[in-house]
Structure 1
Amino acid sequence: MTSPSQPPLATGPTSPQGATTVVKLNSPQLDAADKKVLCSAVCHCKNTPGIGKDGRSLKQVCVSNQLKGLDETLRHRSPYKPEINYDMTKSPPEPFMDKEVETKSRDLWPGWTKTLWPKDPTRPVPYKPGKGYVRRPDVVIVNDSTKPPTQDNIKKVVEVKFPPDEYGSQQREAYVAIAGDEKKLVTLTPDDCDCDKSEPDGPKVPVEDAGTVGAILALLYMIMTKRPPPRGLAY
């Protein structure tokens, strides 16, 4: 698959350090409610990511764990689905979902490529790692949280990138295939979330979404901090 055309670049204002900000025009964006929720996890994990046994910062793992905790708390009906595995041999790509709970990601076990994968005769056998048969976006936002994250229910596919992370080989193209539209793939970074500001400029959430977003943020706060949310948690 060829790479999608890149949006034009514009030169933005000069930062206090003297560097010029480069802005992508017409780049897909999250709406205010979704950005508020995901940025709360991104900024938390940027500042308190946890450290792996090898000493590496686990920022990506942190974001995934927060959103998995949110989905579990909401009985797998969160609109924010982290790390769903998609079968890229299907057109459109199909998510691996639990056999009993269709909104829950299927837990894949060691050796699943030798047991589960061959059960579908349309799949290439044997499974070959590195061929791109399966892809796992950071977050899939669904339109209807009571239904699985199939392409007809995908609002946005979000790839969270903590510098210096970049897209891998064919990764962007695969995520566009999952989303079904280049305009539905969004890259989210700590800079997009203003994580370095003492009081980030949060997106203005529409009044009709404020209650839902406030409740989700309160749940995320409890998951991230293991404490009750403070009074007046802003949304």
Structure 2
Amino acid sequence: MVQVKRTPLVDQAADLLFDRIRSGEWTLGSKLPGETTLAPQLGVGRSTVREAIRQLAGRGVLSTRQGSGVFVTALDTPEDWDTVLRRADILAVIEARTAIECEAAALAAERHTPAGLRAIRQALRKRAEHRSEIESHVDTDTAFHRAIVAAAHNPILLELFDSFTPRLRGAMIDMLRIRKTHGGDADHATHQDLAKAIAARDPEAAANLSRAHLESLKNALG
């Protein structure tokens, strides 16, 4: 016998309730029927209704008032809640990248060896070759930025970057899926300019380019 998993059922019930709210069945400020009424209407148990209400309350659509019931507090949400949470995580990752990569870029400009510069340029070429598919683009982009961190010759920064990479990869893939565009010529030119600033041993320009690039990622998320 196949059992229906609880979490998807809760999501389905929440979606049904939300659709009814958006359709105007309940107006702003109105009180929802009780769990015993909603459960058979939604085809689920009372506990599932309770969880669905809790989910919509977390999204700001419903409000539970002790002893009074559940009330409609919004008729819609600006965007899918999963997207909101993903965007918040992406912003946190970009802020962490800024803390690590801007300093690393400046240090790389000061400290890079010929071998380190060759690694940066090789990673940049590979990045240019993998701009069409999201996952490979993120992987080659990450390899480019790692080469810069390695060229900074600070083992702590490199350790931080490496430990951070799995979280970074997931967030960057999510970001590109949300944006639906990636790998443009202007974006790649920014990375070329960063490599040139490092090669020119200009730490201020390298740090500024790194920061401006990461700020542009934040701004693109809205």
TM-score tier (shorter)? under 0.3
TM-score (norm 1): 0.23
TM-score (norm 2): 0.24
| Bigger helix fraction | 2
**Rg comparison, structure with higher value:** 2
| Bigger strand fraction | 1
